[in-house]
Amino acid sequence: MTIALPDGRRSEIAIGGRIRDIGKYAGEKRVFILTNPEVFELYGDAFPAGAAVVLLPPGEKNKTLDTVSAAVSRLIEEGADRESLIAGVGGGIVCDMTGFIASIYMRGVRFGFVPTTLMAQVDASVGGKNGVNHEGYKNMIGVFNQPDFVLCDTETLRTLPERELKSGLAEVVKSALIADAALFEYLENRLGDILERSKEVLDFIVERSLRIKAKIVEADEREAGERRKLNLGHTLGHAIEKLSDNAFLHGEAVGAGLALAARLSNRLGLLADGELSRILRLLTAAGLPVAVPIEIALLLEAAEKDKKKQGDSLHFVLNKGIGDSIVKKMSCGELRALFGDAG
């Protein structure tokens, strides 16, 4: 699969690629791998021979400029230059930071990803959003820059803790909800196989989710319109992550955000009762929260400060049945009133 942007930039996505395939993209270039200690322990043996390795500390709290700065120091020590290739091997946090570091290191070097979580395979590694958090606000500092390549090796998902697998599923459910009713039905029918990590089923859901994302990114790389749909569940999801001090994983917060958006869509007459029930049932079966112990007013207050706010309004994504969505610009007051009894 390829993401082909109107100005000719391309990003190659290989579903079924392997970590050692990084070498194929390097040519004569020296490879610098950014990863974290856990992923290095599991997959370091498969890194291409001769690649220099820079370890990033794990966790959302470390997705910061301080970590970026420390990684840049290590790249300088290791002798990375403008002709080097930087590869991020790991989950969404490694991918987000690697893309950002590669974009600013010596004003930009070539980079690619080997995503090793479901979250990173179906979402974080693709689409060119790279960035870090700032003072607890998600992804406040960052760039749009497409990786040269993404190697999705679903075999690596075998070692992923179940909670992380379920967290990644939230983004697959999101993709199905915004654009693919058949994928939603597939998830309903094959959830057991996903949780058992059937390679065939994992390859299918990764491919299907990425097709949706690729099409949207090709049409609207910089999120001026259509791409906002990819934020279904995220406006409140990010607020949940912030207010819970990251007690909820990203995907868990998104799951709860999807449930809140679905309830509101139902209240607005955009989603039938039966469809709302199916969404809540699938999220619950996938082990994702459909409610959080945080008042909706507090979530909206945090969302107001989020970067997606424009003036007094938020672009809130709503379900239009299952497999379609709309973006509605709503004031925070309007959202507060509407959520009055839909929260």
Which contacts of 42-47 are long-range, i.e. CB under 8 A and separated by 24 or more positions? 42/116, 42/156, 42/159, 43/19, 43/89, 43/116, 43/156, 46/18, 46/19, 46/20, 47/19, 47/20, 47/22, 47/89
Contact 180, 208 (CB under 8 A): yes
Going by the DSSP 8-state scheme, the letter that residue 96 receives in this structure is: H
Assess 306 for contact with ligand NAD (CB under 6 A). Answer: no
Q: For residues 208-227, which are near ligand GLY according to CB under 6 A?
A: 227
Assess 92 for contact with ligand NAD (CB under 6 A). Answer: yes
Q: How far apart are CA 238 and CA 116, in angstroms?
A: 22
The nearer residue to ligand GLY, 19 or 124, going by C-beta atoms, is 124
Tokens of 337: 């009133």
Assess 117 for contact with ligand NAD (CB under 6 A). Answer: yes
Going by the DSSP 8-state scheme, the letter that residue 21 receives in this structure is: G
The nearer residue to ligand GLY, 166 or 227, going by C-beta atoms, is 227
Q: Is 211 a catalytic residue?
A: no
Contact 148, 112 (CB under 8 A): yes
Shortest CB 123 distance to ligand GLY, Å? 5
Tokens of 119: 């979250």
Residue recorded with tokens 């009762």: 273
Out of ligand GLY, ligand NAD, none, what residue 227 binds, judged by CB under 5 to 8 A for its kind, is ligand GLY
Assess 110 for contact with ligand GLY (CB under 6 A). Answer: no
Q: Is 78 a catalytic residue?
A: no
- With CB under 6 A as the contact rule, the residue among 167, 265, 266, 325 that binds ligand NAD is 167
- With CB under 6 A as the contact rule, the residue among 34, 120, 194, 296 that binds ligand NAD is 120
Q: Is 238 a catalytic residue?
A: yes
Shortest CB 273 distance to ligand NAD, Å? 30
Q: Is 246 a catalytic residue?
A: no
Q: Give Dmax (Cα) for the chain.
A: 61
Catalytic residue among 171, 221, 252, 275: 171
Assess 58 for contact with ligand NAD (CB under 6 A). Answer: yes
Residue recorded with tokens 């992380």: 164
Q: How far apart are CA 265 and CA 64, in angstroms?
A: 34
Q: Is 36 a catalytic residue?
A: no
- With CB under 6 A as the contact rule, the residue among 157, 172, 173, 230 that binds ligand GLY is 230
Give the footprint of ligand GLY on this chain (CB under 6 A). 123, 127, 129, 227, 230
